[in-house]
Amino acid sequence: MDRGKRPGNFLGSRNSKMHLDLKGIIRENALPFLPAKSLLRFQRVCRDWKLQISTPFFAHNQSLSCRDVSGCIYQIPGGPPSFLSAYPLTCGVPDPLLKFLPEPVDIRSSSNGLLCCQGQGGDKPYYICNPVTQQWKKLPKPNADHGRQPAIVLIFEPSLLNFEADYKLVCAFPSADFDDATEFEVYSSKEGSWKVSGEICFAAVHIDPRSGVYANGVVYWKGRGLLCFDVTKDRSQLRSHFINGILGTTDGNLCVVSINSDVLVTNVLSNSFTNTMEMSSRYKMWKEREKVILDKGPLNWGSDQSIFFSQNNLVVIRSGGELFSYDRGIKELKAMGKVSGRGKEAICLPYVNSFASL
């Protein structure tokens, strides 16, 4: 009789071990890839998961692993910011109005879960914050006058070896000493200070301050051509090419995305040396990467469309008074919500639902 029971006991023991192994695999290898809103909810699953998710090491690992854009931060001039999620069940922030900051702010730039904001009063200081953890830091005053609408870009690339966020801010501003020239100022979190670059672009660029994009070590702004600033080499370049669309990134590379009715076209930077090549050269600066006819289905799609941003998996489009998201991975177009204000005045930035720590 005892001999007959042993196989059952062995099978039960084996199933129990498999269950424990699977539980550990999920905890160690799946959870870090989930957005912050889901993880805050999963803390209630069990004590082990709560302890795991609450550790600083896990927060650091999640900021490295979860890099997909989950929605956007939207704001009209003078109004409060708001968060519109492309995946409401899994992605969100506890305080979309950013009331945890010491004053009302204007959103200026975003990068991998961190936001750069600027105070609306006084000397208009810059703040870096994480809307999920509600951590924030006030930056020292810049050396130069960045203007009323600073052309500033936040660069944050989570690193395996740095538990604290190591980030930079790059601002292009009109030169006070040279007519029609553009200068650059860089803030480094490592040094905790601003530094005006010795590099000057002597050209009438007239960049769009909201167009800044970072890709592969270079910050790009759209204006009369394409203004480029290499952060590592501390060098600038003006590429005299007409940009039909908005600047974005796909797979880490610079791209230009445009829309005409329901046709979405993505062109990727393929040759950054066209300015130095012969005029008759067959090599082009941009190469078409994707051309998609959007399936609008039953959506309330207006007659006039504009793209707010395109970053990796997500494109956010305004049509009428509503925002729509297009997910490149699953090729799905869906409504995000209604918005106020005119499209040209509003700022809409990509957001990653991350635990990145300041």
Region 113-119: what's the mean pLDDT? Answer: 96
pLDDT band at 9 (very low <50, low <70, confident <90, very high): low
Domain 67-351 has CATH 2.120.10.30: yes
C-alpha span between 105 and 120 (Å, rounded): 5
Chain Cα centroid distance, residue 27: 26
* Residue 347 β-bridge partners: 75
* Residue 209: partners with Cβ closer than 8 Å, 6 or more residues away: 147, 149, 150, 151, 152, 221
Q: What is the pLDDT of residue 2?
A: 47
* C-beta atoms surrounding 274 within 10 Å: 18
pLDDT above 90: percentage of residues in the chain: 56
Chain Cα centroid distance, residue 182: 25
Range name among 12-16, 82-86, 88-92, 141-145 with the lowest pLDDT average: 12-16
Range name among 242-246, 282-286, 329-333 with the lowest pLDDT average: 282-286
Ordered by start, the domain boundaries in the chain are 2-57, 67-351
3-state secondary structure of 9: helix
Chain Cα centroid distance, residue 206: 24
Is there a contact between 212 and 274 (Cβ–Cβ < 8 Å)? no
Region 193-201: what's the mean pLDDT? Answer: 96
